[in-house]
Structure 1
């Protein structure tokens, strides 16, 4: 596929499709794929990599990401990726905490009788 023709077709379709406000994220993703640019941050792969990590490791990793966010300079893309990483880390920790609390609530209060 000719990249120039593909980009032209993408631009034409973008103006014709009935998107309210446009689906800019999909347009950017398609543009990057057509131009051969590296993909943006893969949230699913990052979340899958956290499955085996302990809560302490997730907290340490979240603190490291926060520290990196404080020290400039950043491009808007790298800042966005770091914020996405931080959001995924905190959501994962919150989900684990909620699962632990639900497990505690589900346990009977007294000892089971034999």
Structure 2
């Protein structure tokens, strides 16, 4: 019995396997210009969107359909994590420069060939 308890304690104390890093995608915002304006991501997979504001004015990444938003001061970098998207199109925009066509983009969630 004591050996079983000791074995159980050792198994519980063992380090958990390291989680694999999330796939990352990058969007740059610069004074109302979003690059890239179209971003393809895998459907059904958690991922991270790294957002960089390389402009001289504040920027806000926002996607109503994904329910994500992030405000960045000039020169700031941040990210949003997306759990999983169903296949489809997910518009996003740079909130502070809505009047500019270049402030709008599209995230396209695609199923991989093997799904």
Structure of higher CA gyration radius? 1
TM-score by length of 1: 0.22
Higher RCO structure, 1 or 2 (CA under 8 Å, sep 6+) = 2
